[in-house]
Amino acid sequence: MCSLSFRVKRITGILEGIVSDLGVNGDLDVLDEFADYVPNGSLCGFGVQATNPLKTAKRYWPEHFTMHIQELRCPTGTCIPVRAHRFVTKHVLP
């Protein structure tokens, strides 16, 4: 597994935290960094396309992300929490 795959896994973890009402304001900045970094550093088709769903969701529904983080609720009422606590890791980009 390449190092970019670990970043895609980290994106998944951050999104799980946001959906579970465990997100913090800094999460959106980290998602933006990873969404830009992963496709540019990838050598395979998966890595190049991996962040497109995230970029599309943030472009068309940015208020959904902020409502999950700031108001601790899903604007559509459809998100199911997948985590009970927040994982704390250090954010390091090469």
**Is residue 34, in this structure, part of any structural domain at all?**
yes
**Is residue 83, in this structure, part of any structural domain at all?**
no
**Is residue 91, in this structure, part of any structural domain at all?**
no
Residue 26's domain spans which residues?
Answer: 3-71
At which residue do the structure tokens 């970043």 appear?
7
**Residue 80 has what pLDDT?**
86
d(CA 48, CA 44): 7
**Is residue 79, in this structure, part of any structural domain at all?**
no
**Is residue 20, in this structure, part of any structural domain at all?**
yes
**Is residue 45, in this structure, part of any structural domain at all?**
yes
Q: Answer whether 0.75 is exceeded by the pTM.
A: yes
pLDDT along the chain (94 residues), means of 10: 75 91 91 89 82 94 94 90 68 54
Our count of domains for the chain comes to 1
